[in-house]
């Protein structure tokens, strides 16, 4: 109820009609959302649903709650300071430490782009029987063209359209799949770790809470050109940003959940183990009909292209921040960052023998880097000299540290599983 009262307050009344100003601020959160409904998520979620049924749905809920807190906190940094996370790291941390952190963040961006481009290439193979290698090259060309030639606001509109298509695609899939809604409802709020599930749990975490999105959100939230000299404007933007973040993350939670629901109700219930996304499509056709397989592939293609664009932008943001600069696609440092993130990913793809496992392990790499970014973010948003009166409260710091602790614990569990 408190949330709905909060949303109502966003609509300032003018005369007898409510203003829809809030909707002008929607966009940055949805760009972040597309990053965690990417092909890496598809691989992780389908693996989770096909191997463990509904039992890992709780991980999507937990990850989304963590994501809302983290993304709001880092967007808070961008609005208050006018600097993205990468710029703040360069300005406030010792040079060697800052460069080390941002170097690992660039690796995470490359890992993300790898999953996104690979997913788009797999979708092209499903739809047109194009080899994965050639599909990856074609996808990369399209992605670089869109990033280098489109303004941010144009890209934002494209991404919102892509997210809508993906969402409607899964809505269609769920209407024809035999979902056990009672079992699913319980699994959403009941943590469990079935034997052998730690790698999948880690990949789901890495696929939802992603390091590059933290850097990206702190940059793109500034696209609305806040007036940092006016305290009332900052407060208003923080309010709108929080609503944008919650709305967008709930959309992402629903789509990620839909992936697991679909896999659990079709593959797990029929004792089918999915080892690649192409296999998932071929299995859906006899179970749910030809239309389901086609919709699955189309949604995957849009997810791959859209998330590749945002991961490339994140790479540009991180690299530009190393030089103390904001993201600007007309600037050479931002251009280099985009190129490194996308082209390095393409090169690695050419050496991958098992695309599905490549997607899974790319998400695991993200989850290993994630604690570094989280604890760096906490340090910066707790810095009173940087944040002023908008510095984190003690309660928020405790909550952020708990999230960082959970992520670190899961990483330790992952390492122990390999020993």
Indicate which CATH number applies to the domain containing 374: 1.20.1730.10
Q: What is the DSSP letter of 10?
A: T
- Give the pLDDT score at 405: 87
pLDDT at 222 over 70: yes
pLDDT at 218: 87
Angle between helices 198-208 and 231-266 (to 10 degrees): 140
Q: What are the structure tokens assigned to 233, written together?
A: 């404007």
At residue 2, the pLDDT reads 47
d(CA 390, CA 233): 13
The pLDDT value recorded for residue 16 is 40
Give the model's confidence band at 376: pLDDT under 50 very low, under 70 low, under 90 confident, else very high.
very high
Q: Which residue has the tokens 């592939």?
A: 297
Give the end-to-end CA distance of the chain in Å, rounded to a whole number. 47
pLDDT value of position 4: 45
**What percentage of the chain reaches a pLDDT higher than 70?**
79
Please provide residue 230's backbone torsions phi and psi, each rounded to the nearest 5 degrees.
-110, 110
Q: Is 353 contained in some domain?
A: yes
Residue 18 bridge partners (DSSP): 13
Write down the pLDDT at residue 231: 65
Q: ∠12-16-20 over CA atoms, to 5°?
A: 40
Query: Residue 5: its pLDDT value, please?
Result: 52
Q: Provide the residue count of the chain.
A: 419
The mean per-residue pLDDT over the stretch 224-252 comes to 71
From the centroid of its chain, how far is CA 52? Answer: 23
- Residue at 388 is within a domain: yes
Q: Answer yes or no: is 177 within a domain.
A: yes
Tokens of residue 310, six digits: 């945002």
CA-wise closest residue to 201 among 407, 419, 402: 407
Taking the CA atoms of 90, 95, 101 and 102 in sequence, report the sign of the dihedral they define.
positive
Domain assignment of residue 58, yes or no: yes
pLDDT of 228: 56
Phi, psi of 354 (to 5 degrees): -120, 95
User: In the prediction, which pLDDT does 226 show?
Assistant: 52
- Contact between 73 and 292 (Cβ < 8 Å): no
Q: What is the spatial distance between Cα 68 and Cα 249, in angstroms, rounded to a whole number?
A: 6
Q: How confident is the model at residue 14 (pLDDT cuts 50, 70, 90)?
A: very low
Q: What pLDDT, on the 0 to 100 scale, is given for residue 63?
A: 85
Q: What average pLDDT does this structure show over 58-65?
A: 89
More confident position, 251 or 100:
100
Q: What is the DSSP letter of 82?
A: S
Q: How confident is residue 206, by pLDDT bands cut at 50, 70 and 90? A: low
The more confidently predicted of residues 371 and 38 is 371
In the predicted model, what is the mean pLDDT of the chain? 81
Considering the domain boundaries, does residue 16 fall inside one? no
Pick left, alpha or beta for residue 225 (phi over 0 → left; psi -120 to 50 → alpha; otherwise beta). Answer: left
CA dist 248 and 31 (Å) reads 9
Helix (H) or strand (E) holding 17: strand 17-18
| Residue 241 predicted with pLDDT over 50 | yes
**Residue 393 is part of which domain span?**
36-418
- pLDDT given at position 149: 87
Mind listing the pLDDT tens digit for each residue in 119-174? 899 889 888 889 988 999 999 999 999 899 876 677 777 777 877 887 778 777 77
**Where residue 353 falls among pLDDT bands split at 50, 70, 90?**
confident
Name which residue leads in pLDDT, 321 or 200: 321
Q: What was the pLDDT predicted at 255?
A: 85
What is the pLDDT confidence band of residue 370, given thresholds at 50, 70 and 90? confident
Assigned token pair, 15: 């005369």
Residue 285 lies in a domain: yes
Per the structure, the count of domains in the chain is: 1
d(CA 119, CA 166): 14
Band (pLDDT 50/70/90 cuts) for residue 368 is: confident
Q: What integer is the mean pLDDT of 16-20?
A: 44
Asked if residue 167 is part of any domain, the answer here is yes
Residue 21 lies in a domain: no
Lowest model confidence (mean pLDDT) among 179-188, 292-301, 334-343: 292-301
- Confidence at residue 340, expressed as pLDDT on a 0 to 100 scale: 95
Task: Please state, in angstroms and as integers, the Cα–Cα distance from residue 148 to each residue in 31, 81, 222, 295, 329, following that order.
Answer: 17, 27, 19, 29, 6
């Amino acid at each position: 109820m408190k949330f709905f009262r909060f949303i109502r307050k966003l609509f300032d009344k003018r005369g007898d009609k409510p203003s829809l100003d809030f909707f002008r601020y929607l966009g940055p959160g949805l760009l972040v959302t597309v990053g965690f409904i990417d092909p890496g998520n598809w691989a992780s979620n389908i693996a989770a649903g096909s191997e463990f049924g509904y039992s890992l749905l709780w991980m999507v809920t937990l990850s989304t709650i963590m994501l809302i807190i983290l993304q709001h906190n880092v967007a808070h940094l961008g609005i208050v300071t006018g600097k993205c996370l990468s710029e703040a790291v360069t300005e406030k941390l010792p040079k060697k430490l800052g460069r080390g952190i941002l170097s690992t963040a660039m690796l995470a961006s490359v890992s993300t782009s790898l999953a996104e481009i690979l997913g788009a290439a797999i979708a092209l193979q499903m739809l047109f029987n194009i080899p994965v290698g050639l599909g990856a090259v074609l996808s990369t060309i399209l992605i670089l063209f869109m990033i280098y030639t489109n303004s941010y606001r144009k890209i934002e509109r494209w991404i919102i359209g892509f997210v809508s298509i993906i969402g409607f695609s899964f809505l269609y899939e769920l209407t024809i799949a035999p979902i056990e809604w009672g079992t699913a409802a319980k699994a959403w709020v009941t943590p469990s770790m079935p034997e052998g599930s730690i790698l999948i749990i880690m990949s789901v975490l890495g696929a939802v809470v992603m390091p590059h999105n933290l850097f990206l959100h702190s940059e793109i939230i500034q696209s609305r050109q806040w007036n940092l000299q006016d305290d009332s404007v900052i407060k208003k933007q923080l309010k709108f940003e929080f609503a944008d973040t919650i709305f967008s993350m709930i959309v992402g939670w629903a789509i990620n959940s839909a992936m697991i629901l679909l896999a659990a109700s079709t593959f797990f219930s029929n004792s089918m183990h999915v080892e690649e996304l192409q296999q998932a499509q071929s299995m859906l056709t006899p179970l749910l009909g030809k239309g389901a397989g086609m919709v699955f592939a189309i949604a995957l293609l849009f997810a791959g292209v859209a998330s590749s664009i945002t991961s490339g932008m994140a790479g540009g943001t991180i690299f530009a921040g190393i030089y103390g600069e904001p993201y600007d696609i007309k600037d050479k440092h931002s251009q280099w960052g985009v190129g490194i993130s996308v082209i390095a990913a393409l090169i690695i793809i050419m050496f991958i023998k098992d695309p599905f496992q490549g997607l899974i392990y790319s998400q695991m790499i993200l989850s290993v880097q994630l604690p570094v970014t989280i604890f760096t973010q906490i340090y910066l948003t707790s810095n009173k000299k940087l944040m002023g009166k908008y510095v984190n409260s003690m309660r928020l710091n405790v909550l952020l540290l708990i999230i960082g602790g959970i992520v670190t614990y899961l990483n330790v569990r992952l390492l122990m599983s390999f020993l």
